[in-house]
Structure 1
Amino acid sequence: MAVRRLLLDHLNRDPNRARDEDLEPNEVGIVGDANHRGGYHCGSDRVVTNDYSVVESPRDRNGLTLDAAALDVGMFRLNSGGRTHNLFTFSTWCVAQCVAGAPDTRDIREIIYSPDGKVVRRWDRLGRRGTGDRSHLWHTHFSFFRDAIKAGRDQRPLFRRYLTTIGLLDAEGNVSDYVQYGDEGPGVYRLQYRLNRLGYDKIVGPADGVYKDRTAAGVKAFELSVNKDSKEDGRRVTAATWTRLDDAYWRQLIAQHAPKPSTVPAPTIDYGQLARTLDLHGLAGAIPLPQLAAMLAADQTLTLHLVNELLKRLVAVAPAP
């Protein structure tokens, strides 16, 4: 289930609608339907006598539970890292990793696949079989040793490594932002969203996750806004471009949420009147009123001190309620 979620998160690029290019939820299967008679898509309640998914390996015999131990992956197609990737290139990459003995393939028993949509082949770790039925022209089957499923071992590392290899994830497993013309997927969505938030929506148009001419024009326009002598053609977004995009985005966000200057005019203080009021209540001392008014205007600390004293005297003489 974790592998299924990982693949759908990154290969079903538009989850709001069905597209031939996307890997749709109904194209990633685990538990066999009613037509399945035994095999890795079935658990202990549905295996058959001498089921090959049980009897051919002690890992399967000792690991048999009610859980299915297989994954089917259907057709998809996307551009990433300047290349086209699909079910056939995905399958041959996975088989190559198994042949090479990569550590994250040790729990895979077999892969039934097509390298070209014309012939069906099978990589079998036990060397028992070399082909499969024609349905594998349009879907690839992965069998996992049952003891790995029983142990709850994470099977995502191989598939995460594939997504990193084709440029959809970075080395830390995060969605890759370093995209270029022709790429598709989450990294392009993020780029388009950022450009549109910065005001380039009339150029880029609605975010569709596809890096084509309009997105390139938006990147070029942004680069020119930062540097009028920029020679960038907008056909790639590297770390430097993302740094500039982020700087511009955060400057805009801060400006939008920064406190606005008050539009209410500051009150005008009549320092002459204030001096006369202070004198009336015995707070002017021997200072001539014009000179006191000038002192109050020049020294706000003095003004606050005398006003506080004035308020104390006013409160002291106020009649009790």
Structure 2
Amino acid sequence: MTVAPQNLKDARTLILESLPVDPAAVGIVGDDAHSGGYHCGSDRTVKNDYSVVESSRDKTGLTTAASALDVGQFFKGAHNLRTFSAWLVNECAKGAADTKDIREVIYSPDGHSVKRWDREGKRTSGDDSHLWHTHISFYRDATKANRDVRPLFRRYIAYVNGTPAPKPPAPTPAPTKLGQRTVKQGMTGADVSELQTKLNAKGPRLTVDGNFGPATLNAVTAFQRLYSLSPDGIVGPNTVAALLTGLGGRALKQGATGSDVRELQRLLTAQGYKLDQDGEFGPKTLAAVKAFQKNRKLAVDGQAGPKTIGALRK
């Protein structure tokens, strides 16, 4: 059964307490006529429902909760549903930080036509039911995380009341390089694009779109298994190091050189075996590998193969 999530119930309460709008006109869960869409949870979505399949944020955030809010007509001084909708769309279009969880706004600018602002750029209009109310869809991952969506509405209410509106929070700069954050399914950004590029260099043929979807997840887990990493699909420091250095792609022994040897030396140093990280597998690196293998009760052969590298990463 589709339910109303707490974050949208809190937003609804704020709107009803602050604006003269009929409670029946501020809705979250769709009525029986709704078949799919953001007013429906997982029990009422349909095959290839746009509110699920078009964004990884919706795919990973799907629950039994609805993820939309309707606001009906109101009048407060010079303000009404039309002016609210225009203000909201303008804030979304200019990228205000407190609008980042809004997927779309379906509204009527004049009471005669229906328009849609869509962050994904898929649609520009809606049906005539939106002549009398404005529909706001929120990405499902925001609803799943119970993220507070009230700051945006508080800004509008302050604007309507003529009080200085609090400035929206400054957006947190998005990571631009792989390794600046832990990356996992559902995330987007330049670092995800870099991850996809690095994986493609190892064999997979991923679309480099900056979206960490199921195909990227499968490529990450396959890479982790190949390189003696825990196949959890999460790109943390060890997986990033393997991608950047190649450590685990071959067994290392005395005489080897390269960035993977340098990473081996870094891991050994972190275990207490102080080595120059020069990328050359010489006598000192050999001695450190053997000492580590003996300490971990591994075969003492002086070669850094899957078991030795796996133990170093734990």
State the TM-score, normalizing by the size of structure 2: 0.49
User: Which structure: greater helix fraction?
Assistant: 1
The alignment's TM-score, normalised by the length of structure 1, stands at: 0.48
Structure with higher Rg: it is 1
